[in-house]
Amino acid sequence: MEDTHRHEKMSEKTDSLKKKDKKCVTCTQCGRSLANKRSLQRHMRIHTGEKPFTCTQCGKSLRSLSNLNYHMMTHSGERPFTCSQCGMSFRQSSNLNNHMLIHTGEKTHKCDQCGKTFFRASDLKSHFRVHTEEKPYSCSLCGKSFRHRESLRIHEKIHTGVREYKCSECEKTFYSDEHLKLHERTHTGEKPYICSVCIRSFSHFEHLKIHVRIHTGEKPYKCSHCDKRFRQLVVLKRHERIHTGEKPYKCSHCDKRFIQLESLKRHKRIHTGEKP
């Protein structure tokens, strides 16, 4: 294993330096072109499922040494890349670079459906699935589909039961690093996202985005049955049930169904006698 680690480390460094070997090689499984044979060997692990690098802390296996090094930070808590604007820290420089666009970048990529703008073309592409309802990533175990690959990856942990991210304050565990970070703010009270109009602060960036629409008047989500528009997608979906008649929330004590979860909770008090 020691030799495998050493070989992987050396090959990852030399691949970027060996510009002499410009002859690309192609994966026979998916047709992807790789820079050289070493890159192909690493890529083939996606198809073979080989994961030769094992974490000494939790036993998790990974495909590459770089993935192992990144994973090890979940145990050490190391976040070496810090934003100079808001102090938020990241494990990878690429994540910090993407985050910095919030402070400095111009949103040049605009959705032609709702007018929403984005820092990157990839973000626009991902957002557009809200309108098309495309969910290209499917779970092989239960068939549930997702708009984003990362959402599928987190979902798959529900089947395996792996919650590798643990809160140091209350020992609660989570499927993803992002969920852990959001949870930790309940202990620290940290609210790093500040509205530039009214100075109100938020623990989640998504909450800030929704709040800002109060000032801008933006309502990007339009009902397909009437002309009503909404600030949040969840509110639009709830509204559309008025048109479709869908009542997804069923009482466990009787067969009555409801459009909203809150309506179900209020109804249940009739059976339980609970007072609000």
Closest CA relative to residue 151, chosen from 172, 135, 130: 135
For 225-239, write each residue's pLDDT tens digit. 999 999 998 899 999
Question: What percent of the chain clears pLDDT 70, i.e. is strictly above it?
Answer: 91
Residue 12 in this model has a pLDDT that exceeds 70: no
Q: How many CB atoms lie within 10 A of CB 35?
A: 16
Q: Which two tokens stand for residue 138?
A: 């499917």
Closest CA relative to residue 258, chosen from 241, 240, 276: 241
Does the model's pTM come out above 0.75?
A: no
CATH topology of domain 2-13+24-76: Double Stranded RNA Binding Domain (3.30.160)
pLDDT for 9: 53
Residue 104 in this model has a pLDDT that exceeds 80: no
Residues 168-179: b if buried by 16+ CB within 10 A, e if exposed: eeeeeebbbbee
Across the range 147-175, mean pLDDT stands at: 83
Rounded Cα gap, residues 179 and 182, in angstroms = 5
Rounded Cα gap, residues 55 and 74, in angstroms = 11
Task: Tell me which of 214 and 154 has the higher pLDDT.
Answer: 214
Residue type, 182: L
Residue 69 in this model has a pLDDT that exceeds 70: yes
Across the range 172-186, mean pLDDT stands at: 85
Beta bridge partners of 89: 82
Enumerate the H helices of the chain as residue ranges. 2-17, 37-48, 65-76, 93-104, 121-132, 149-160, 177-188, 205-216, 233-244, 261-272
